[in-house]
Amino acid sequence: MQVEQWRKAIGEMVRDHMRSPELEYYFSVKMNKHRAQLMITQLGLYIRHRRDCWSLVSANCPVMAVKQAILRHEFGEVIKDQYSEFGHLHLIIRQAEKLGLTAREVVDTKPLLSTTATLYAWAWLTHAKSWIEGLSALTVTEWTNDDRLFVAHSQADEEHSDMFLPFLSEYATGEKEELALAAVKESLALFGLYREGVARAMEKIPLDYF
């Protein structure tokens, strides 16, 4: 597939994902301060884990241009970009501070069991499968930040959404194309499980708990 075809194919899969029961449930949960604190701290764990996963893809990949693109991607995530002088985790910390949390509380937060399971699965996917599958699985996670959550972070990730499509067009051909699409589907399923777990944990916090 050409780049535009990849964009369309992944876009359709993401739209289906956003209409899934897991995501509908996630966005239906009513918010209060403590529920939002749980959501943002779990998101912080997810964002930090992406760094490990991108490193695993790079380690598996023999193509220098892909390694360079991953480094450019990770510079914005870890070091700085136009939205933050300290990387995207700092965006989470700034958002958490508005909810009454400290940076240390964000960094030291414990994962939900469902978060642990999905992070382990992404780590296995990006380590044990081919770099093309790992690249596909991580690329789609850049498409799943919805502006119903946090606008600054979603805008920052929009710049990363198309970054790796030219490499899929060049290298995910023949049988590898189906493997790449299957990895996208698998990654979206993991994201649904991750968000469903967060939603269930948030609902356990009473709405009148301030």
- What is d(CA 182, CA 61) in angstroms, rounded to the nearest whole number? 19
The answer to whether residues 90 and 152 touch, using CB atoms and an 8 Å cutoff, is no
The answer to whether residues 140 and 14 touch, using CB atoms and an 8 Å cutoff, is yes
- What is d(CA 95, CA 44) in angstroms, rounded to the nearest whole number? 10
Average pLDDT for residues 140-152, to the nearest whole number? Answer: 63
Averaged pLDDT score across all residues of the chain:
89
Whether 154 is covered by a domain: the verdict is yes
The predicted-structure confidence for 31-84, as pLDDT tens digits, reads as follows 999 999 999 999 999 999 999 999 999 999 999 999 999 999 888 777 656 665
The answer to whether residues 171 and 63 touch, using CB atoms and an 8 Å cutoff, is yes
Give how many domains the chain has, as a whole number: 1
Whether 137 is covered by a domain: the verdict is yes
pLDDT class of 174 with cuts at 50, 70, 90: very high
Whether 81 is covered by a domain: the verdict is yes
Whether 209 is covered by a domain: the verdict is no
The predicted-structure confidence for 113-129, as pLDDT tens digits, reads as follows 999 999 999 999 999 99
pLDDT confidence of residue 92: 86
Whether 210 is covered by a domain: the verdict is no
The answer to whether residues 5 and 178 touch, using CB atoms and an 8 Å cutoff, is no
Whether 95 is covered by a domain: the verdict is yes
pLDDT confidence of residue 210: 61
Whether 88 is covered by a domain: the verdict is yes
Q: In the chain, pLDDT over 70 holds for what percent of residues?
A: 87
Check which CATH number belongs to the domain holding 44 and give it. 1.20.910.10
Q: Which domain holds residue 148?
A: 3-203
- What is d(CA 53, CA 122) in angstroms, rounded to the nearest whole number? 7
pLDDT class of 154 with cuts at 50, 70, 90: very low
The Cα-based distances of 59 to 66, 79, 120, 165 in angstroms read 11, 20, 18, 19
pLDDT confidence of residue 80: 58
Angle value at C-alpha 140, between 8 and 203, nearest 5 degrees: 120
- What is d(CA 142, CA 153) in angstroms, rounded to the nearest whole number? 10
Whether 208 is covered by a domain: the verdict is no
Average pLDDT for residues 3-27, to the nearest whole number? Answer: 94
Identify the CA nearest to 115 among candidates 43, 19, 170.
43
